[in-house]
Chains A and B, each alone.
Chain A
Amino acid sequence: MGARFVIPLIFFLALLMSVGSGIGDCAVQLNAHLNRASATLDDNVTYTVSISGESAGDPEFPDFNGFQILTGPMTSTSISIVNGQMSQSASYSFVLLPMQAGDLTIQPTKINQGGQVFASNPVTLRVIDRQGPAPANPPHQQGPHVQGPGGPPPGHAGDSSQQQEPGDDIFIRVTPDKQEAFIGEQVTLTYELFFRANLANVSFRQQPTTTGFWSEDLNSPRQLDVRETVLNGKKFQTALLRRIAVFPTTAGDLTVGPLIVQLDVRSQRRGRDPFDPFFSSPFDDMFGRTQTIVRQSESVVVRALPLPEAGRPADFSGAVGRFGIKAETDKTTVKTNDAFTLKVTLGGEGTLQPAKDLEFPAIEGVKEYAPQKKDVTGIQDLRFVSERSYEYILQPREVGQLTIPPIKFSYFDPVARAYKTIRSTPFIMNIAQGEAEPVAQQGLAIGKEEVTLLGMDVRYNKPVPERLRLGPHLDQRPSVWAGFVLPPLLISVFWLYQRRRDRFMVDRRYARSMKAWKRARKHLSLARKYQHKGAARESLEHLRLTVLGYIADKLNVPEAGMTAGGLDDLLAARAAPAAMRQSVREFLTSVDFAMFAPSQTDAAKTAELCRDAEAILKHLVRLRTLKGQ
C-alpha cells in the first residue's frame, strides 16, 4: 500500500521540478500502428496512433479507405519519465473492419502545432480474401500480432504487448446442414460462438442478409448456453448464437451474409506496470480491463437447384416439402338446402406459402360457397412445418347419394427428388329431403351478392288517388287570407273589451258615466209606461230621475238629496249654457210642483213633461262638458 502513495508523490515532485524545461522542449511525435500486419475480410484490426510531446491541437485522422470503422476513436493519455526526462503522450484507437482484399494503406494522421504540421507514419495491412482457408482453425488463421511501424512508446499504458489479445481466441462458426438445396427446400444454418476469453456481454450487430431466400428464425437463445469443447487440441467454450432456416426462392448460387456480433471481453493482465495503479481504477484490478471487439461469421453460399421439369404434374401446386392431406365433414346426414362444411387440411414439413389454392371439383347438384382459408406454421424438431386448411360450405340441392370426390394436391419432395400427388379420401353422403329455400331462414351470412343493375327505367305510375287536388293554390284563394286578417281584428276587439270591462270594475265614476244614458232611457221608458197607466206620481218620479239621474251619473255625484238649485250650480261649474241650465231648472221645478200637487196634474201635463225630459236628455247628451266625464 505504501508504494501507492510514495510513487505518485515522487512523480508529482519530479513533475514540478521539470516544469518549463522538460515538457515544453519536446517536439511532437506521431506513431501509428496496427495490431496485426495481415487479416482476412472477417477480422477486425485495431489502428492506434500515439502522439507524444507537447500538443495543443486535435489530430486529423486519415480517411480509412477500404475499411469500415466499427468503433473509435477511443482516447487515452499518459505521462512518462525516462532518465529524468518527462514526456506526455496520448493515443487514439479505431477498430476497423477491412472491406476489400489486398494491401490496404492507412494514410498518416496529422497534427498542426503552431503552423507546423507533424504526421505519423502510414501503415499497411495485408487483407486475405474470405475464400482462403476455412475457419476450422481460427486462431491459426488470424495473423500473428504485429506491432505497427514505429511501435508504441516505452511505458505506454495501453500497450497491447503487455496484454493478451482476446480477439485471437474468439470466433463465430456457421454450419449449414446442406450446401445445395432445391428451390423451396429448407437449409438450416447454425451460428455458434467459440471463445477462450472472459466474455462480459454479447450483442448482435448485424443479422445475416438472406437475399434470394425466404427465411424463418428457428432458435435465438436469449441467454448463451455455454459448454466446453476441444477444437484442434485447444479447449474452447462454445455457445449457440442463432439458428435460422432459409428457403431459396430462385435458382443459382445464393449467399447468406455474415452474422456480426459485438463482444465485451475482459482481458487478463500478465505484467504489472509500476505506474499503472496511478491511472487504473480499483475495478480494473478486480476484473481486468474490458475491451469491445467485433466478430463476424463466414458468409454461406448455398447452391439453389431449380425444380426438375421431368415428371412435373400439370396441377403442381408449387409447394416443396413432404405433406399429407385430410378431408372431413361436420355432419354425416344432411338435408337438401342444408349447408354443411367440408374441411380439407394440408400439412407437413416445408412451406405451403408458395402453394396455389386447392382446386375443388364442381359437384353436380351442390352449391359451393367460397372457402375460408387458414394457414398455421411452426417449428418441429428444427424443421419448419406448415398446415393449411380450407373450409368449404356446401349446400346440396338434390335428394340422394352425394359423392364428394377426392381432392388432389401435388408437391415436390426434395428428399425423394420427385413430384408427388396426394388425394383426400372420397365421401359418400346421403341427402334427405329438407325444407325449401332455407338459406335466408338459417341466417347464413355467406353467399350474399351485390345487387346487379340490369337496366334503368322510370318508376311506375301513381295509382288513382282517393282525392284529387283541384283548383288554384291555397294562397290564391282570398277566403284563406281571411285567416291571416281575422286574428288581429279579433285580438284587438277582445283586448278593448277586456280593457273596458276592467275599467268598469275598478273605476266607479267611469262605470256610472258609461251607464248614464242607458239608465236615463230606462227611466224615461218607465215614466211613459206609468203615464199610460195613469200612475202620475210614479211617472213623475221616473221623469225626475231621467234628467237628474243622468246628470248625477255623468258628474258622479249622489242623486239622493240633489235639488234643482244644487244641480244648477254643478252645471254652472261645468260651463253649461244658460239656456240649458234654465230648461233643466224649469223642468225639475215643474216635475217637483206636479209631484207635490198631483191632483192638478193631468195626463196631458205628464205627457208634456215626458217630451220635455226626452228633449233635455238629447241636449244633455250633446253637452261636451258632460261627455268627458
Chain B
Amino acid sequence: MNARRLTLALVIATALLISMPVSAANDGLALTFQQGNQAYDLKNYEQALAHYQQLIRMGVVDGRLYYNMGNAHYRKGEIGQAILFYSRAQRLLPGDPDIKANLTLARASTRDKLPTDEPALPFLVLGWPFFNLSRDSLFAWALVVYLITAALILFRISSRSDVIRRRATQAAALLALIFIFVAANYSFRLRADVIRAEAVVLEPEVTVRSGPGESFAEIFKVHAGAEIKIHNIRENWFHVSLTNELAGWVPSTAVERILQDP
C-alpha cells in the first residue's frame, strides 16, 4: 500500500465531504433572492420578506439572506425582528462588517439601555477565530488540520528515512497544537450558538414576571430588540436574564431564539 496515495485520497475525500452538501447553485433560489431584493428596492418590504421566507422554507440557511431580512424588518420599524435576523446572520458570517454595522445601528435604536460585555484583549487575540469565523468554517478548519495531521502520521509510519520521520513528527506535533486551538474555538462557538440559547424580544413591550404565569408579580418591562438569555423553559414560559443581571419569566411567544435549530 502506498502511503502517499492513501494520504492524498484521505484529503480529497474529506474535501468532498465538506463542500458537497454545504452550498448549491440553484437558479430557482437565486431568482427568489433577486425578487426579494427588487421588492426591497421598491420599498415593498412585506413582499421582500415573503420572498426571503420562501427561501427559508426551501432549506436555505444563509447569512446574506438573514442580513437582507434584517434590513427589511428594520425598514418596517420592527427593531426586534431586525436584531434577530442580524444576529442570525452574524452567527453564519461573524466577520462581515455590514452585518456588524447594521446590528450596531439596530441596537442603538432599542429602548432598553443594556450593558454590552466587551471581551478583553487576550480573548480578542486568542479568540480571533471565535469572533470572526462561523461554526461551519471552524469545523471545516478543524477537520482539515486534523486530516493533514493524520496524513503526516501516516507518512511518518511509512517513511524509512530517519530525517523525514523526525521532520514529519515535528510537523505533526505543530499541527496537533493548531488543531487543539481551532477545536477549542469551535467548541466555544458551538456553545455560544447552541447552549446559551440567546433570544430577542419581538413584542413592543413585554412584562417580565417573577414566575411562569400571569398570576406572578411584575418585576420589570423589556422592549423590542432587547437581547436576553434563556435559562429554563416551563410550558409556554421562558426564564430569561438580561445583560444587566435582571432575570424573570416571559411568555415564550414574546421572544424568539436566535438559533432556530431545536
Footprint of B on A, CB under 8 Å?
456-477, 479-480, 482-484, 486-488, 490-491, 494-495, 497-498
Contacts and interface: CB of A to CB of B under 8 A. Distances in A.
Contact of B60 (A462, A468, A483): A468
Given A456-B105, A468-B26, A472-B61, 13 more contacts: A461-B71, A462-B68, A466-B25, A468-B25, A470-B22, A470-B24, A471-B21, A475-B135, A475-B190, A480-B143, A487-B146, A490-B10, A491-B157
Contacts of A472: 61, 261
The list of the 4 closest CB pairs from A to B, nearest first, reads: A487-B150, A462-B64, A467-B23, A469-B62
Nearest to B69: A461
A497 B61 contact: no
**Listed residue (A460, A490, A497) with the most chain B CB atoms within 10 angstroms of its CB:** A490
A491 B158 CA distance: 10
Interface stretch (B29-37, B161-169, B198-206, B241-249): B29-37
Contacts of B3: 494
Given A467-B24, A468-B65, A484-B146, A498 B71 contact: no
**Listed residue (A457, A473, A482, A486) with the most chain B CB atoms within 10 angstroms of its CB:** A473
Contacts of A462: 64, 67-68, 98
Interface in B59-83: 59-65, 67-68, 70-71, 74-75
B212 to A, nearest CB: 31
Interface string B92-116: 1000001001100110100000000
A483 B17 contact: yes
Given A479-B17, A480-B143, A498-B158, A471 B22 contact: yes
B33 A480 contact: no
B130 interface: no
Contacts of B63: 469
B250 interface: no
B98 A470 contact: no
Contact of A473 (B24, B34, B135): B135
Given A458-B105, A468-B23, A483 B64 contact: no
B150 A490 contact: yes
A474 B186 CA distance: 12
Contacts of A470: 21-24, 59-61
Contacts of A477: 21
Contact of B18 (A474, A494, A498): A474
A494 B6 contact: yes
11 contacts: A458-B106, A459-B71, A459-B98, A465-B30, A468-B60, A469-B23, A469-B62, A473-B135, A475-B139, A487-B150, A490-B6
Contacts of A460: 71
B147 interface: yes
Nearest to B91: A473
Contacts of B146: 483-484, 487
Contacts, number: 128
Contacts of B136: 469, 473-475
Contact of B59 (A456, A457, A471): A471
A488 B147 CA distance: 10
B160 to A, nearest CB: 10
Contacts of B6: 490, 494
Contact of A463 (B37, B70, B102, B106): B37
Contacts of A467: 23-25
Contacts of A456: 105, 108
A469 B10 contact: no
B33 A468 contact: yes
B176 interface: no
B102 to A, nearest CB: 5
Contacts of B62: 465, 468-469
A470 B59 CA distance: 6
B153 interface: yes
Contacts of A464: 30, 33-34, 37
Interface string B1-27: 101001000100110011001111110
A470 B153 CA distance: 34
Contacts of A497: 1
B230 interface: no
B238 interface: no
Given A467-B25, A469-B63, A474-B22, A483 B14 contact: yes
Contacts of A483: 13-14, 17-18, 143, 146-147
Nearest to A499: B157
B226 interface: no
A495 B159 CA distance: 12
A437 to B, nearest CB: 30
B84 interface: no
Contacts of A471: 21-22, 59, 61
**Listed residue (A459, A486, A495, A497) with the most chain B CB atoms within 10 angstroms of its CB:** A459
A502 to B, nearest CB: 10
A463 B37 CA distance: 8
A488 B33 contact: no
